[in-house]
Amino acid sequence: MHGRSCSRIILAMLCPLLCLGLFGCFGRKAKVIGVVTPEQNPSYVPGQLIGMFDSEVEAKETAILYEIELESFRGGMAVFKVNKNLQETIALGEKNGWPQLYLNHIYTIDD
């Protein structure tokens, strides 16, 4: 019985996504154009890094480690304000085994 209810939940979550893919969104047809790597799209928000955390407390502790400012936290996503080189800040965290931070990339979809 438990497996059947899980299947229904998964199906309920996938149906809207399938409908969007098949019928478009707000009258516009959706199309997959591929996966974009950071090397292919160098656009990012200057002075910002992002990371995923279980709590705001964890995000604040990470900000202290990196000596950066927690700008916002919502739904597990933390946005940090950084006043130093972003790549060097990321590398410092990797070197020290700190929680991973990422560039806040800007992606655009062309019509």
**Diameter of the chain by CA atoms?**
54
Residue 9 is assigned to a structural domain of this protein: yes
C-alpha span between 42 and 107 (Å, rounded): 10
Same domain assignment for residues 50 and 26: no
Residue 99 is assigned to a structural domain of this protein: yes
Beta carbons of 33 and 40 less than 8 angstroms apart? no
Same domain assignment for residues 59 and 89: yes
- Provide the residue range defining the domain that includes 9: 1-31
Same domain assignment for residues 83 and 48: yes
Residue 96 is assigned to a structural domain of this protein: yes
pTM across the whole model = 0.61
- Structural domains in the chain (count): 2
26-63 pLDDT tens trace: 444 444 444 555 555 568 999 999 999 999 999 999 99
The DSSP 8-state label assigned to residue 36 in this structure reads -
